[in-house]
Amino acid sequence: MQRIAIIGCGGSGKTTVGRQLAARIGATITHLDTVYYDEQWNKLDPDKFAALQEELVAADTWVIDGNYAGTLPIRLKRADTVIFLDLPALTCLWGIAQRRWKYRGGQHGTTGVYDRITWSFIKYVWGYRKQMAPRVRELISEHAGHADVRIVTSRRAANQLLAQLTASTAT
């Protein structure tokens, strides 16, 4: 477990899972939102975004969290571990609400990402499992056949997976 791609809807727990695994393997975590958006939520040019990810995955050890299905194959082809947090919409919305409360709508701790909740984001989260998750599963199937793929469908299962993975890296 040296190159970990963490995928999932907003509020699914990508950052939490990523931080713990990065600490365990001694890697730096990269939050793709901080690569894709600047402080004013301006988007990076798509070609530049892809090129930056190519650079990131060239490293021997990394943890990258983010969805971005358009560039997901870049991460999947190089990852040795893929964690797809495919949680229910209500669970993700609750995670977003908790994050909003924790950071009071400001910067998310050390991630560099600022809280930005819009109606379109809420609709995206609500429809993620129906519209985006099938595409993510297809991309995983196409590009991550070599990797240890874990699909997690609840917070409890995510906690159990973290306990299992961190215990296995300790030995």
Q: What is the pLDDT of residues 58-115, one digit of tens each?
A: 999 999 999 999 999 999 999 999 999 999 999 999 988 887 776 665 545 555 555 6
Question: Which is higher by pLDDT, 167 or 72?
Answer: 72
Any idea what the Cα angle at residue 75 is, between residues 136 and 40, rounded to 5°?
Answer: 85
- How far lies 59's CA from each of 27, 44, 92, in Å? 10, 22, 31
pLDDT digits (tens, 9 = 90+) for 112-157: 555 667 888 899 999 999 999 999 999 999 999 999 999 999 999 9
Q: What CATH number is given to the structural domain containing 154?
A: 3.40.50.300
Q: What is the pLDDT of residue 40?
A: 76
**80 vs 42: CA distance, rounded Å:** 31
**36 vs 102: CA distance, rounded Å:** 23
- Please name the amino acid found at residue 83: I
**78 vs 58: CA distance, rounded Å:** 8
* Overall number of domains in the chain: 1
Tokens encoding 131: 């519209």
Phi, psi for residue 156 in degrees, rounded to 5 = -60, -45
Predicted TM-score (pTM) of the model is 0.88
Residue span of the structural domain in which 141 resides: 3-170
Any idea what the Cα angle at residue 32 is, between residues 154 and 73, rounded to 5°?
Answer: 80
Q: What is the pLDDT of residue 105?
A: 59
